[in-house]
Amino acid sequence: MGVLVRAIVLMTFLDLTGPSEIKGVWKGSTTLPCAYLPVEDVVQQTLRWTVVHDQSSGTVFWRDVSGDHVLLSEYRDRVSVPKDAPGNVSLHILNLEISDRGTYTCQVTWRASNNTRASMTWARLLYLPVAATKPVVRASEPGLTFPAGASTSLTCVASGSPPISYRWFWGAPGGKALLLSSQAELAWDSLQPSDTGEYYCEAENRVGAGAVQRSDAVELTVRGECPELLLGAEHAESFHTRVEQLWTRDRDFILSMRNI
């Protein structure tokens, strides 16, 4: 019962008014707030900062009577917690990396003079908006030379904070170009020789004042098809036979005319 009462008293002095979401800037610094109002006869025992990323989790920072400990190697020399500000256990992170994004949880444990203990936790979400990178063009098939009638697609790929919008153009970058699509993928069900030309894409998101990133252009070539190939392998032999018959007939006709 004493633990519960002490926990309720401590909750009264927690500072939970700070933002639950913290926006960081790549290579910048930020502070994840965590604070409480010290209570007489109540001593802080431990402090733990943990993080949950998309694919991993762990303890970033640990403080106890033995001192401060940074337990995740990727945070060493980049994180700290004030030592001379009672009640302020905010986590300061330097040189922010994109991989630092995640949910951070601050957990504080106290001990009262009657040896009752209480523990409180509260979380902060750190997000780092990232401007769209220069997109690259990926083809569904190796090479960019196709026979007429073939199907293929080009995909515009960029990194950055979602949502990312895409646009596809036909023409030379910086010159006159025709807008073809506002999707990441540009697809053809049946290529025609008239589809031959240069293609490039653009990507942008809401970060970086909406700066548009443009890919390098790729050259797509569509070659005309011989009728023999359009017939398919099962008709190729009969096609050759028929052509030979027509050629023989016309040759004999021409020779007979010359003998008249």
**Tens digit of pLDDT at every position of the chain (260 positions):** 444 444 444 444 555 556 788 988 888 999 999 988 888 888 899 999 999 988 789 999 999 999 999 999 999 999 999 998 888 999 999 999 888 999 999 999 998 888 877 778 888 888 888 889 999 999 998 889 999 999 999 999 998 888 899 999 999 888 889 999 999 999 999 999 999 999 999 999 988 666 899 999 999 999 986 444 444 545 445 544 443 443 344 444 333 333 44
The residue whose two tokens read 């240069």 is 198
The SS3 of residue 28 is coil
- Mind listing the domains of the chain with CATH numbers? 2-127 (2.60.40.10), 136-226 (2.60.40.10)
The SS3 of residue 101 is coil
The SS3 of residue 245 is helix
Copy the structure tokens of residue 121.
């936790």
- Please give the single-letter amino acid code of residue 238: S
Quickly list H helices, 150-232.
227-231
Quickly list H helices, the chain.
2-12, 227-231, 233-258
Of the candidates 120, 121, 58, 49, the residue with the CA atom closest to the CA atom of residue 82: 49
What is the model's pTM? Answer: 0.56
Quickly count helices (H) and strands (E) in the chain.
3, 20
Contact 222, 196 (CB under 8 A): yes
Copy the structure tokens of residue 58.
């762990």
Of the candidates 116, 106, 105, the residue with the CA atom closest to the CA atom of residue 39: 116
Q: How far apart are CA 45 and CA 43, in angstroms?
A: 6
The SS3 of residue 144 is coil
Chain centroid to Cα 143, Å, comes to 26
